Structure formats: structure tokens, C-alpha cells
Amino acid sequence: MATSEVQNFYKNKYIFLTGGTGFLGVAIIDKILRSAPEIGGIYLLMRPKKGKSIHERLQDLTKNSVFEQLLETQSADIFKKLIPVSGDVGENFLGLSQEDQATIVENTNVVIHSAATLDFQATLRPTVNINLLGTKRVLELCTRMRNLKSMVHVSSAYVNSYLTEAEEKLYPCTETAQKVVDLVDTLNDSALDELLPKLLKDHPNAYTFTKQLAEHEVNRHAAQFPCAIIRPSMITGAWKEPTPGWTISKNGPQGFLMGASKGVIRRLPVGVDLVYDYIPVDAVVNQALVLGWYMGTNSFRELKVFHCTTSTSNPFKWRSVVDQMNDYLHKYPLKSAIWYPRLKFVSSLWVYKLASLFVHILPALVLDFVLRVTGGRPMLMRLHTNVWDSLNRLEKFIFTEWKYHNPATQQLAQLLPEKDKSLFNFNVSQLQWPEYFVYLTQGVRRYLNNEHPKSLDAARRKDKM
């Protein structure tokens, strides 16, 4: 039986992971524990939150739905591989104690840096602190690690969203990281807000701007230790692992499927003939872990950039599933649906807003009134106000078509040993979009709307009624 080179690489090694409690982070943890259980351990950078210690937060983390498949084959003892360390990418020295720094520096072999603030509305100060300085702090720790084999930085395809076509290379920044950091240190919030449009230039928001600056910080260290940048596009629910359709993220298509299945989202602004770049979370996880192995076994001393994307290798258009979406919603309905699901796609934001007055706002006012009268908590107007606001911010991302070329990623998928091609699969050219959306609809039902498959018969009776 062929052995897995990637599994062998991670055997007895220690990984330092940031962003481990997020959508991508928990999926990375699950995959390592399932497919490389002989890992030495995973140092998880965590901060105490909502009055809970990092050990209590780790306990909560182990109850995540992502681990259901893992626990069918492993005992809960596998979680002893997770080593929480108290810290925060937003603090100097990552907020790590001297003792934890010493342990991490001594033992870490692979660093996966996925922590970031993903808020497209966030101002410059927090995005610089987390996305730029956070990366800088991780890299500074990397320089002290005695046995570091590779560093994988999770960036975003949209760092170059001012270009409608982008290659797997580092593009020049219009500002230096040091200048931006100095401005944040010296200016107050209102002065920063005023200056922001001039700094951003063609960038749509502070997120893409600071993530691009962070890439250049990674490049500055690429001669010291092997560094890879992985640029995923919009990360969506699982294609295959841990189970088809698994998701805990409400971003992108899974968020509106969540609302559509409830019957409260009835119109959606989408260009049905545009290519949308969606990438399943398990493809990102597998490629990130393969990059740890690839960079670590080849000991590269120059930066390698990889697009984890579908727009050029397996382009998705809503046209391919638009006629089936309502069928999916009625095949897998919700017991908790408020209104009969019926989703229609509209071609512009102003058409959406006009239609929304009649199919979203007016019904929301009526239903919120009924909830108030019956002692419930009104929520629909708040939901639609949030959707309205977010669509204004996302208009560029909804109606722009990008092409992210990914020959390096395709080449990497081909050079994998046969065993690893199946064990750590990220070759998305094999993905069938209509089938994927059937599973995503079920995943949204199960994991976002918290309705067990056992309730499906009762939900179907309600839907029919």
C-alpha cells in the first residue's frame, strides 16, 4: 500500500496555527487530526473571550460540528494534540508569555497564519493592526524558530481586486507598510478616515489594501525560510470533507441560502451569466497543508504564490443552477420556515431594492408587528437592513467578473503522489457545481439552520401544506 508523503512529513511535527477558531481554522484542525493523526501537536493561538479562559474556549471548540466525522473513528483523546496558547495577533509579540514564546520557538516546524479581520466595513486602524502588523508579528516569531520547515500565509485572491485578471505573483503596492503604520500611529480616527480614500486608490476597502501589504511582509522573509502565500477566493461550504455541504460560515451563497430556505430572502442581486469565483473550504484546507509539505521538503528561498480559485479552472455561473435552486429549497425545506421559499435572481442592485420594498420590507414590518404583539422578538427588519447595508458595500464584488489564473496550483495538484492526490485533494476541475449546490443546501439546513435530517419529513409536510 502506497504511503502518503504529506502524512509522513507531518508525523511528529508541531504546527503553529493562527485563526484556529474561524471557519477555515477549525476545518484545518479537523483535517490534520483526521488525515495526519501522528502529528506531534498543534499550537493554537487563542485569546480569552466573553469571560472564558482559553482552555474553556478549547473545550467549546472541540464540540464544533466539523469534528463529527473525526469522532466516529477516533476517541476524544485526539484533542490532546491541540495545545492552546494565550495570545492575540493584535498585540506585540502576539501577546504570548515568555514561556509560551520559548516553547513555540523551540518546537514549531510549520506555521499556518490564517488569522485576519474579514470585515469589509472595518476602518484602517483595526485592519492595519490585525492584517498587516499581525502578519509582521507572526513573521518575527518565525525568524526565531529553530526548526521551521515552512510558513504558509493565507491571503486572499481579492488583494488584487483592482485588476480583473491576476496571476500567481506579487503585485506592487502603492504605499509602503512602514508609511501606513506611521500614519496609524500618528493620526486620530477622523483624520485616518479622511485620508483612507487617497491611500486605497483602486482598492475597494481597507481589507484588500492591508492584506496586500501583508503579502509584501511575507516576501521580505522569503529568503530566510520557505514562505508560501495561498490566495483563496470566496470560501464556501465543503465539497467532500469532513462531509459534503458542511459549513459554519454565513458569508456568500450559504448566507443567502440560509435566508431563502426560511422564506425571508426572496430576491437576490446576481449576474447569472457572470463567473463567480467560489472555492470549497476543504480545497483550501488541503492545499494549505500540501503547501506546508511542498515548501518544507524543497526548502525554497524565494516566495511562492498560489491561487486557490475556480474562475479559470472550473468557472461557476449561477445560470447553471438558477432553475434548480427553488427545487433544492423544496426538496430540503425547513421545519422553521416563516414563509413559502421562492428565490428569484435580479440583474442589478436598484431592481433588487425596488423589489425588496414589496417582498422583504413590507412583509418584515407586518411579521415584526405580529412578533411584538405575541411577545416575540422582532428581527426581520433588522435582518433586511443589514442585508441592504452589506449589499451596498459588496456591489463591486457582486457585479464584477474576475479571472484568477492558477497554473502553479494546477501544477502542484498534478505533481502530488497518487496517494496524496486522493487524501489531500484540491483539484477543483473535478467538482460538479449542480451536485455541489444540492449538498450545500443540505449543509445550510443542517449546520446553519440547525435542523437535523430526521426532521425532513415533517418539514416537507409543512412545505407542501
> By three-state DSSP, how is residue 15 classified?
strand
What is the average per-residue pLDDT within 420-448?
96
64's grid cell: 464544533
Quote helix, strand, coil % in the chain, to nearest 5. Answer: 50, 15, 35
Terminal CA-CA length for the chain: 54
State phi, psi for 71 to the nearest 5 degrees.
-75, -5
Q: What is the pLDDT of residues 225-257, one digit of tens each?
A: 999 999 999 999 999 999 999 999 998 899 889
Residues 6 or more apart whose CB falls under 8 angstroms from that of 319 comprise 272, 273
Q: What is the pLDDT of residues 208-229, one digit of tens each?
A: 999 999 999 999 999 999 999 9
For residue 2, pLDDT over 70 is answered with no
What is the structure's pLDDT at 187?
Answer: 92
Domain ranges within the chain, ordered by starting residue:
5-233+277-311+401-431, 245-276+316-400+433-464
Q: Which residues pair with 464 in a beta bridge?
A: none
Q: Look up residue 324 and give its amino acid.
A: Q
Banded model confidence at residue 277, pLDDT cuts 50, 70, 90: very high
The label of the residue with cell 457572470 reads: 274
| Domain 5-233+277-311+401-431 classification at class level | alpha beta
What own/partner pairs with CB < 8 Å and gap ≥ 24 does 166-171 have? 166/307, 166/402, 166/403, 166/404, 166/405, 167/405, 168/231, 168/305, 168/306, 168/307, 168/405, 168/406, 168/407, 168/408, 168/409, 169/305, 170/215, 170/216, 170/219, 170/229, 170/303, 170/305, 171/212
The overall average pLDDT reported for the chain is: 92
What's the predicted TM-score (pTM) here? 0.94
Contact 120, 393 (CB under 8 A): yes
Tell me how far apart the alpha carbons of residues 2 and 51 are, in angstroms, rounded to a whole number. 48
